[in-house]
Amino acid sequence: MSIISLKSVRYAYRNKYQTVQALEDINCSFEQGVMYAIVGKSGSGKSTMLSLMAGLDLPDEGDVIFQGTSTRTLNLDTFRRNDAAMIYQSFRLFPLMTALENVMYPMELHGVRPRDAKKRAEEYIKSVDLTDVVFNRFPSMLSGGEQQRIAIARALAMDTNIILADEPTGNLDSTTSRNIMALLAQLAHERNYCVVVVTHDIGVLDMMDVTYQMRDGILMKE
């Protein structure tokens, strides 16, 4: 059974000069325990689709449905905080927080006591194959691969069922990229996450369970 799906979704970007149709009648569903890829050229609509799934915006037509309920009827702030964790190409770690504090942050927002948040954050960081050496380091002191692992640990700390990753390996070398994708696949297969990855890196598609191709706002299953 799907945890999130898109039904007849259309979306366009508009300004006073023109309208650009970004998504055209998107219909698809995503299940827990599966790792998905959405591939396509820049500007094809794949990141727009991910942003709608994350509740960052609403479609012009159609619905994004989370556990049977349209995001149109959800409190999107609550949905983003509790139900869909985003991972970005640029990592988006807080530069003045240590690695440990970055992972603690979403738990503290949920009212977890600092002492308990610290213990759980240490466990999450270790679960993404990092050691206590990085706990008190700031993002600027970490490699790109380490920063992305901390970003993944922070996503785990949000305690959601969905991880949405927008070009998570775009700033990484090929070896590190495959290691990060292997970690995301492990989260899907061993911890029952629904993992959706937007990528242009065809070198990692062999690691996906399901691949979709986005072309000019039209989604096709490979």
Number of Cβ atoms within 10 Å of the Cβ of 133: 9
Can you give the pTM of this predicted structure?
0.90
Compute the half-sphere exposure of residue 124: CA atoms within 13 Å on the CB side of its CA: 26
- Residue by residue, pLDDT tens for the chain (222 residues) are 899 999 999 999 998 899 999 999 999 999 999 999 999 998 899 999 999 999 999 999 999 999 999 999 999 999 998 999 999 988 999 999 999 999 999 999 889 999 999 999 999 999 999 999 999 999 999 999 999 999 999 999 998 999 999 999 888 888 888 999 999 999 999 999 999 999 988 889 999 999 999 999 999 998
Determine the CATH number of domain 1-83+160-222.
Answer: 3.40.50.300
Contact 104, 118 (CB under 8 A): yes
Helix, strand, or coil here: 91?
A: coil
Q: Domain boundaries in the chain?
A: 1-83+160-222, 94-158
